[in-house]
Amino acid sequence: MLQSTTNCPMTRSQLATPVKSTPSSPVSHPLSRVRTPFQVIKQGWQTLLTDFQIIFERDPAARNRLEVLVCYPGLQALISHRLAHWLHRQGVPFLPRFMSQLARLFTGIEIHPGAVMGKGVFIDHGMGVVIGETAIVGDYCLIYQGATLGGTGKETGKRHPTLGKNVVVSAGAKVLGNIHIGDNVRIGAGSVVLRDVPTDCTVVGVPGRIVRQSGKRIDPLEHGQLPDTQAAALQVLRDRITELEQQLESLSRGLVTKPLGRGEDVK
């Protein structure tokens, strides 16, 4: 005879109820990750405030709020881009790209609606700045006029650079291709960067060469502290030429003071 394994008899209704298994790790419903319109507006407003406040921290010429709102094309281009980027993510055709072209017309800054811009990005002056469709710019980056975050023209998909946090792209610098720029990187004016750059480095020259700063922190506005690798290389060449001239002069003196005899070899 079979015996019951429980001391409490189960009723018919309990037997008819299916047993629910408890998962080891709770799985969130997809709808639980959808943000409400209020959350979207709140996050967008906080991002715009960060974009606005960072200007006073990094530009000594910023004196009052009205001046920053009216006279700073970098801020105006970012405001337009954030709205165009949101429309682009919603799948709205034509309008996001048209907004980016209007912003380019009035500010001289071209940011594709597909580009991802972090919070606290400051585009100083900004004339001639171009940021491609698949570019990703990290938080608190500083971009000067004439800078380009573009592609090489040979790739599809992710073809523009990714910038980490606190990256400085100086005037006229070109960062091209699907490359990654680490955090706290400084790219010198006029440099052309075609390869990945590790964190905490300085890049100068054409093509860009990496110069490590050995842990020394440099203010992002101190462009005069960028290392001049070309001048350093020329100095090494000058020192070497001076050394060779001294050796040649000493050798020539020895030959003059001690004439060579017949059959002697110069060593």
pLDDT at 209 over 70: yes
Residue 249's pLDDT is what? 84
**pLDDT higher at 82 or 258:** 82
Q: Which two tokens stand for residue 242?
A: 């001076």
pLDDT, average across residues 89-100: 94
pLDDT, average across residues 214-242: 69
Among 20-34, 67-81, 177-191, the least confident range: 20-34
Q: How does residue 159 score in pLDDT terms, banded at 50, 70 and 90? A: very high
HSE value, Cβ hemisphere, 13 Å, CA-based, for 187? 37
Query: For residue 147, how many other CB atoms are within 10 A of its CB?
Result: 27
Residue 236's pLDDT is what? 86
**pLDDT higher at 223 or 24:** 223
Calpha distance 230→204 (Å, rounded): 9
Residue 22's pLDDT is what? 42
Residue 230's pLDDT is what? 67
Residue 213's pLDDT is what? 61
Residue 6's pLDDT is what? 41
Query: Residue 148: which of 114, 186, 192 has the closest Cα?
Result: 192
Mapping DSSP onto H, E and C, the string for the chain reads CCCCCCCCCCCHHHHHCCCCCCCCCCCCCHHHHCCCHHHHHHHHHHHHHHHHHHHHHHCCCCCCHHHHHHHCHHHHHHHHHHHHHHHHHCCCCCHHHHHHHHHHHHHCCEECCCCEECCCCEECCCCCCEECCCCEECCCCEECCCCEEECCCCCCCCCCCEECCCCEECCCCEEECCCEECCCCEECCCCEECCCECCCEEEECCCCEEEECCCCCCCCCCHHHCCCHHHHHHHHHHHHHHHHHHHHHHHHHHHHHCCCCCCCCCC
What's phi and psi for 152, nearest 5 deg? -95, -10
Q: How does residue 2 score in pLDDT terms, banded at 50, 70 and 90? A: very low
Residue 226's pLDDT is what? 60
Averaging pLDDT over each range in 60-64, 144-148, 225-229, 259-263, which range is the top one?
144-148
Q: How does residue 1 score in pLDDT terms, banded at 50, 70 and 90? A: very low
Among 20-34, 176-190, 214-228, the least confident range: 20-34
What is the pLDDT of the chain when averaged over all its residues? 81
Tell me the pLDDT tens digit for each residue of 105-127. Answer: 999 999 999 999 999 999 999 99
**pLDDT higher at 83 or 16:** 83
pLDDT at 38 over 80: no
pLDDT, average across residues 5-11: 44
